Chain A
Amino acid sequence: MAERSDMIPIYVMGKRYDVPSSLTIMKAMEWAGYTLVRGAGCRGGFCGACATVYRIKDDPKLYFGLACQTVVKPEMYLGQIPFFPAKRADYDITQLEPTATTLFKIYPEILRCLGCGTCTKACPQELNVKGYMAAAMRGDITTVANMSFDCIMCGLCAARCPAEEPQYNVALLARRLYGRYLSPRSEHLYQRVQEIQAGKYDDEIAELKSMNLEGLKQRYKARQIEA
């Protein structure tokens, strides 16, 4: 292999590899020869499979990122957290009520939160995890749901939490409670479902299904496009 001028050393779980400096952590590991089984999912920043903890030589600080979205740095020491065994409660969403006590009835450990903010520091989505956990302690489901919305459930918050909180599962419960019970009801949706179940559109659709190609094309071209 020809020498490249852009190579930098990184340490994957302690072992040194020289990799091109433009690569993401994930691509650098593959470049180094790893075939990923754990630790790679969507490869686009949405699934949380590639949560990574790293440190730079001589710097005591821990950094957090997604391997698919973070570019390698020289002297980076990295390890992946592809799975974290945080608690997830079982519940029947239809039997819950969205009250101020619901969250900590299901996750009593919420009340153990120290408010230290380590979760927020660890979040690769830069969410205010500490903030939504404070809202969870107040029983404010709506705030938890909105503040946590961009969570990808990678588990780094839970992995770092000294109070052993399953933050991302608390947030998921809050969003489901909000979506089912607290978001404003869409009357037009309920109306349309009733119409469909009453067969209102059956004849129109049957007509389209039986139409020949030319007729269908004419109907397609005649559609009004909403501005």
Chain B
Amino acid sequence: MTYTPEIHELIKFVEATRPQRVKQTFPSMPLEERQTLLNSFHPDFLDEGMRPIRVGNAKGNRMPNELADVLEGRPHLPASFDLSQPEIETDVLIIGGGGAGASAALHAQENGARVTLVTKLRFGDANTMMAQGGIQAADRVEDSPTTHYLDVIGGGHFNNIPELVEALVSDAPIVIQWLENLGVMFDKTPDGMMMEEHGGGTSIKRMHSARDYTGAEIMRTLRDEVRNHQNIDVIEFCPAVELVLDDKGQVTGAILMNLETEHYFYAKARAVILATGGSGRLHYQGFPTTNHYGATADGLVIAYRAGAEPLFLDTMQYHPTGAAYPEQILGLLVTEKVRGLGAQPLNIHGEQFVYPLEPRDVESAAFIRECRGRNLGITTPAGHPAVWLDSPLIDIIHGAGTIEAALPAMVRQFKRFNIDITRQPILVYPTLHYQNGGIKIDANCRSNVPGLFIAGEVSGGVHGRNRLMGNSLLDVCVFGRRAGEAAANYINGINLGNPTLNHLDAWNEELDSIGINGAVKSPILLPDYTRHS
């Protein structure tokens, strides 16, 4: 699995231009040019890949075909499912075992609630665990939350909900302090300065890291802390397949499915926090994904069916640098920290063609233009388009040993296939990474459905139409904490009515009325990768 002789020949062009490139980085793109590039080359703008949804409160909204298919799906169960004997009763039911769910659990219990956290796979099998590069927070003297605000909202093409951006940037340093007090090991200098780098779209170095295991370090710490609390129950391999409402329209829990026994049961709760993450495993437009195995839009499906309002579902994030070679790791993440530390993207001639740290949508569109528009990409042995990412440049800029110290996961990932990223550049191409939109929330994570709180990737509005690197780990902590606290406060004042699944009858009638008969059963829970499917 080392590079083929043909690829070795191409690497010579990269090596030939390297001495010159060390001295000069390609300039960034004027704001006016960004939209033109996106319109021509970003997958969100490819009309064949998108369609309007035909049912629900956002009928007519454009979104990827694959997402519309599952949102228009049929429920697993009939509305007559017996709700008289809940198998679980709790104050706050948290659906999702990633960073947002764990943060929410800790803050809900801290505010006095009994918590049950349910998760489809294992606790921590989540995109949080896979986030490598870092987490943003404006805590350097030279930086400020105001500057962070500008970077976020410009990166989101000025579509973000201002109150959510305010919450994100204002809570950021507080979250870093909270994580550190829980025992997260951030990269620091011996005198205690956080080591901070640029990410795409940042105007100042603000990216905190824990080597390139930043998300894993945060997730395993949060998970351990959750397990130390007796008033939080964690139930694994139990995804939610439906929300339960009462006769007043308030959320009163969820129907769960034991994924191993396929037993369905009612978990009754006074409030629900939806923290189910994203949808990369729907493989929009056939793209490979960086996402974990369970990222199948479950939360969007059940919330939308229960009347929650979605936002910006027509914009997905394609991370510029997914691995394009070797084939075994196609689409897996090559962290943006590689570019943050100085690696440049290059075409087949070893030439730069874009500023390395544009916001992700712009950077990805530039890669696609270089390959598809200008025909200056590299074709991998399996036939995939790719551009170079000149990783050896990092050690030239920062000194030998930097790559091994700062990017051990990346070194290990490629070494398994006999590629040494300290000496050889990497082949990369955009890969499906993040759901920019989701269910609309306010700054306390409330949706329009009473009792339904939303946190993390399944929410919409924080990042506008494009999220910047390092704001997702931040998002799950900031809004997870806020959701936990808000839900714990909410339950004090409510009176639950009779639980019902009547909204499923209405849903089925709507599907019937417009003749959607062959629809899939959703949420789909797991992608089907078997050969015979």
Contact in complex: B228, A93 (CB < 8 Å): yes
Contact in complex: A172, B185 (CB < 8 Å): no
Choice from B158, B185, B292, B529 contacting A27 with Cβ under 8 Å: B529
Task: Give the contact stretch, choosing among A55-63, A73-81, A112-120, A182-190.
Answer: A182-190
Contact in complex: A188, B141 (CB < 8 Å): yes
A92 CB-CB contact with B under 8 Å: yes
B413 CB-CB contact with A under 8 Å: yes
B193 CB-CB contact with A under 8 Å: yes
Task: Give the contact stretch, choosing among B122-130, B368-376, B467-475.
Answer: B122-130
B198 CB-CB contact with A under 8 Å: yes
* Cβ contacts under 8 Å, A145 to chain B: 185
Contact in complex: B328, A150 (CB < 8 Å): no
Report the separation of the CA atoms of residues A196 and B146 in the bound assembly, to the nearest whole angstrom.
Answer: 11
Report the separation of the CA atoms of residues A94 and B181 in the bound assembly, to the nearest whole angstrom.
Answer: 8
Choice from B144, B150, B170 contacting A220 with Cβ under 8 Å: B150
Tell me which residues from 180 to 227 in chain A have a Cβ below 8 Å from any Cβ of chain B.
180, 183-193, 196-197, 201, 204-205, 208-209, 213, 216-217, 219-221, 223-226
Choice from A45, A91, A152, A175 contacting B413 with Cβ under 8 Å: A45
- Given contacts A186-B194, A220-B150, A226-B203, whether A196 and B145 have CB atoms under 8 Å apart is yes
Contact in complex: B213, A46 (CB < 8 Å): yes
* Cβ contacts under 8 Å, B182 to chain A: 93, 176, 179-180
Tell me which residues from 138 to 156 in chain B have a Cβ below 8 Å from any Cβ of chain A.
138-142, 144-147, 149-151, 153-154
B290 CB-CB contact with A under 8 Å: yes
Contact in complex: B185, A47 (CB < 8 Å): no
Bitwise interface map of B from 152 to 195 toward A, beta carbon under 8 Å scored 1, else 0: 01100010001100100110011011001111111011111110
Report the separation of the CA atoms of residues A179 and B528 in the bound assembly, to the nearest whole angstrom.
Answer: 40
Choice from B145, B191, B529 contacting A201 with Cβ under 8 Å: B145
- Given contacts A188-B141, A208-B149, A208-B150, whether A178 and B129 have CB atoms under 8 Å apart is no
Choice from B180, B191, B203, B227 contacting A179 with Cβ under 8 Å: B180
Contact in complex: B31, A47 (CB < 8 Å): no
B413 to chain A, nearest CB (A): 6
Tell me which residues from 115 to 140 in chain B have a Cβ below 8 Å from any Cβ of chain A.
121-122, 124-127, 129-130, 138-140
* Cβ contacts under 8 Å, B531 to chain A: 30-33
Contact in complex: B149, A205 (CB < 8 Å): yes
Choice from B186, B213, B529 contacting A183 with Cβ under 8 Å: B186
Report the separation of the CA atoms of residues A221 and B29 in the bound assembly, to the nearest whole angstrom.
Answer: 11
Closest to B215 in A: A46
Contact in complex: A189, B220 (CB < 8 Å): no
Report the separation of the CA atoms of residues A176 and B184 in the bound assembly, to the nearest whole angstrom.
Answer: 6
Closest to B206 in A: A226
- Given contacts A149-B213, A188-B194, whether A204 and B150 have CB atoms under 8 Å apart is no
Q: Which 7 A-B pairs have the closest CB atoms?
A: A176-B183, A41-B125, A184-B192, A179-B183, A220-B154, A223-B203, A209-B162
* Chain A to chain B contacts (Cβ below 8 Å), 8 pairs: A38-B260, A41-B122, A46-B129, A186-B188, A188-B194, A205-B145, A208-B146, A223-B203
Interface residue ranges, A against B (CB under 8 Å): 22-24, 27, 30-38, 40-47, 49, 69-71, 88, 90-94, 125-126, 145, 149-150, 152-153, 172, 175-180, 183-193, 196-197, 201, 204-205, 208-209, 213, 216-217, 219-221, 223-226
